[in-house]
Amino acid sequence: MSEPLLRVAGVSKHFGGFTALSDVNIDLAEGERFGLIGPNGSGKTTLINCISGALRNDGGSIRFRGEEISTLPAYQRTRRGIARSFQIPRPFHSMTVLENLLVPSAYVIHLKDEEGEVKAMEILRGMGLAERARSPANQLSQVELRKLELARAMAARPKLLISDEAMAGLAGAEVDEVLQILFKLNEQGITIIMIEHIMQAVMRFSQRVICLDAGKIICEGAPAQIVANPDVQKAYLGA
């Protein structure tokens, strides 16, 4: 059997005396829509920071397309096909929306500006952000900033996209809009990890869900199984 797209094996992470992750194992198949849930502070963001390279895991291994990546710097991981959006948007505020997208297109895809702009405009149109292309990033609304996060991640043409709470704080219609964008990207063959607090969204989107609690995986399965799982109920509702 060939190796999965992403294999997280026995990963742990500590901050001082605090254990943020312990023995986390995840296999992710190509093209999957994968949900990562868990109560606040359960280690979701720490886990994706370890996968994307913003943090180094203390123990365990992370393999992407058969290659050990856990010692690579973040930019190398992006170049190998892992892109992410940030929970709190981090635009390059001195640049326009379009220029924001030209950063990954120059550094990851190695496109010349002319080609990069064409591709970036395509992505922006797909996200309904095209008319804002020439606006400075620091003038965007919250929804637009979230879209910019996703659009910029897409400009790196990732094989794996990690969406870190791209919908937090958005209203109902806006949630649907972002969700549709993610579905569309998945149809193009991109594997997606979605971290979300909005349960309806995760459950609608994901084919498979993992629930973290206090740094450990407590349950894994299809959305319906997860909702029915007593451990998950315990993690959220308590015992």
Partner 1 sequence: MTGPIRSARGFWAGAAAAVLVAALLCFFVSYEYFFFAAYIVLLFVTLATAWNILGGYAGYVNFGTPAFFGVGSYTAVVLIQAAGAPLALQIVAGAVMAGLLGLFAGALTLRLRGIFFAIATVALIFILETVFINWRYVGGATGLQLLRPEPLPPFKSYTTMLFFVMALLAVGSVAVARYIEGSWIGRGLRALRDNEEAAEANGVPTLKLKLFACTVMGAIMGAAGAPMPMYLSFVEPASTFNLNYTIGALGGAIIGGTSHWSGPIIGAMLVGTLQQIITVTISGEVNVLVLGVLLVLFVIVAPDGIIGWFRRKR
Partner 2 sequence: MALELSIREIDAGYGAVRALHGVSISVAGGETVALLGTNGNGKSTLMKCIMGMVRPTKGSVILKMDSKDFDLTKLSTEEIVSLGVALVPEGRRLFPKLTVEENLLLGAFRKESRAKIPENLAFCYQAFPVLAERKRQLAGSMSGGQQQMLAIGRALMSAPRLLLVDEPSVGLAPILVSHTITKIKELKERYGLTVLMAEQNFHQAIRIADRGYIIVHGEIVFQGGVKALEENELVKNYYLGTA
Which chain residues interact with partner 2 by CB under 8 A?
15-20, 39-43, 141-143, 165, 168-172, 197-200, 202-203, 213-215, 227, 232-239
Q: What is the rounded CA–CA span in Å between residue 127 and residue 150? A: 9
Phi and psi at residue 146, to the nearest 5°: -65, -40
Q: What is the rounded CA–CA span in Å between residue 231 and residue 108? A: 41
Closer of 32 and 196 to partner 2 (Cβ): 196
Q: How many other CB atoms sit within 10 Å of the CB of residue 222?
A: 13
The position carrying tokens 């909005």 is 198
Radius of gyration of the chain (CA): 18
Q: How far is the CB of 134 from partner 1 (least distance, A)?
A: 13
Closer of 32 and 164 to partner 1 (Cβ): 164
Residues 6+ apart with CB under 8 A from 55: 13, 46, 49
> Which residue(s) pair with 13 in the sheet?
21
Task: Residue 168: name its binding partner from partner 2, partner 1, none (Cβ under 5 to 8 Å by kind).
Answer: partner 2
Binding residues for partner 1, rule: CB under 8 A, are: 52-54, 73-75, 78-79, 83-84, 86, 90-95, 99, 102-104, 106-108, 113-114, 152-153, 155-156
Task: Residue 104: name its binding partner from partner 2, partner 1, none (Cβ under 5 to 8 Å by kind).
Answer: partner 1
Task: Residue 121: name its binding partner from partner 2, partner 1, none (Cβ under 5 to 8 Å by kind).
Answer: none
